[in-house]
Amino acid sequence: MSQEGSDIGAFLAGFVIGGLVGAAAALILAPQSGEETRAVIREKGIELRTRAEEQTAEARKRAGETAGEARKRAEDAAAEARKRTEELATRGRTVFQESQSRLRTAIEERTKKAEGETGVDITPAG
């Protein structure tokens, strides 16, 4: 995308410079009076300014569209990251609860086995 933008910018710069050089050559080589030459220069200047304004407006429009697209992609990426984070948190809680349950079961089995072997209640207080 940035390569395309730089290609367009290079083309536009070349176009404007070529237009200026061509206009200058035509003015210098044309057999006109000073007044006529000044009028032609004025007209060409207005024409070039108009073209530059149009190209600037188009460039701003494209930049706005590109910024909007980039913002949308960033929002989508952030939403996807939040979703994955929530999924990982849920999986982590599930694994923790399963591990905690297995540990309690193992402790209870061990306690029952120890009570059976010794006949003494060794259940932790609390």
Q: 98-110 burial by CB neighbour count: b if 16+ within 10 A, else e?
A: eeeeeeeeeeeee
pTM strictly above 0.85: no
Residue 6 has pLDDT above 80, yes or no: no
More confident residue, 71 or 11: 71
Measure the CA angle with vertex 85, ends 81 and 90; round to 5°. Answer: 150
Residue 94, both tokens: 């599930």
* Other residues' Cβ atoms within 10 Å of the Cβ of residue 5: 13
Residue 83 has pLDDT above 60, yes or no: yes
For range 114-126, the mean pLDDT: 64
Q: Which of 110, 88, 87, 107 is nearest to 99 (CA)?
A: 107
Residue 101, both tokens: 């349950």
Q: What is the pLDDT of residue 118?
A: 66
Q: What is the pLDDT of residue 1?
A: 47
For range 72-90, the mean pLDDT: 95
Element (H, E) at 103: helix 34-118
Q: What is the pLDDT of residue 5?
A: 61
Residue 3 has pLDDT above 70, yes or no: no
Q: What is the pLDDT of residue 11?
A: 81
Highest mean pLDDT among 16-20, 28-32, 55-59, 120-124: 55-59
Number of residues in the chain: 126
- C-alpha–C-alpha distance, residues 28 and 46, integer Å: 18
